[in-house]
Amino acid sequence: MQTKRILSAFAFTLLTIFLLLVVASRSGEAAKAEEYHNVDADIGQAMPEPTPHGVMPGGKEENDPKDAEKPDIDITSWEYILAGPSNNIGKYTPYVVAIEDTAQYFDERAITPLVNFLNAARDAGFTPYIQTAYRSYSSQEYLLNGRASQIAWPEYPTAEDYAEAEKYVAPPGESDHQTGLGVDITDRYYGSLDANQMNQEFLVWLREHCAEYGFILRYPAAKESITGRNEPYHFRYVGVEAATYIMEHNLCLEQFKALYQ
């Protein structure tokens, strides 16, 4: 009898240890899955919910651009160059100059409006930081090759790897940064391009005042189906007249240019 009790206790102990190991293993797998999800979110840069159609960020109703006279501009002028999946600008190279005392560069013809925009943000109590501005064709090519190689590692990247990489990195000639007129603006103390980690009040201020300095929000959430991107920190110079019209009518640059076709 004593022997049976000892064997039963021993069996119970083994069963308990086995169950604890199973629980620990599943917890570890869950932790790894959560870690992978977080890394993927950083790459994909999770954005706020899109603004409903017909409503501008901040709750303003969208005006129909057909109801207002479009700006009398030369749509072929340098301010309106469009880089994207529908229009590859090749090795277009603007003349750029340094932005203040940073290592970032911007089209010389629009540097003053950009500095004025940044100074206005400072006057409003924010600490703007230029995350990315001009990026050359070769730099964009390097980034795309790097991402494709990272996906394919340890093999050489295939066409499928490049297609996957292009979900995160624009092909050379299709990046708005190559125009020299696009700029990613973050807060100095919220430097991540993950919109969920950024200073939301600052993003709202940038969006509401950008047109005063000739800038537009290049990739609005509500226009992602057209632009392919949702980047609440990416602003683009088009001049005050065009910017005012675009922001008032809740357009993206693609839609604005289409008005002149």
User: Which are the catalytic amino acids?
Assistant: 231
Angle, helices 111-123/200-209, rounded to nearest 10 degrees: 130
Residue count (the chain): 261
**Three-class SS state of 94:** coil
106 CB contacts (<8 Å, ≥6 apart)? Answer: 96, 97, 99, 114, 133, 134, 180, 181, 183
Residue 125: is it exposed, middle or buried by C-beta count within 10 angstroms (0-12/13-18/19+)? exposed
Going by C-alpha positions, the residue among 243, 211, 257 that lies closest to residue 84 is 257
CB 252 within 8 A of CB 223: yes
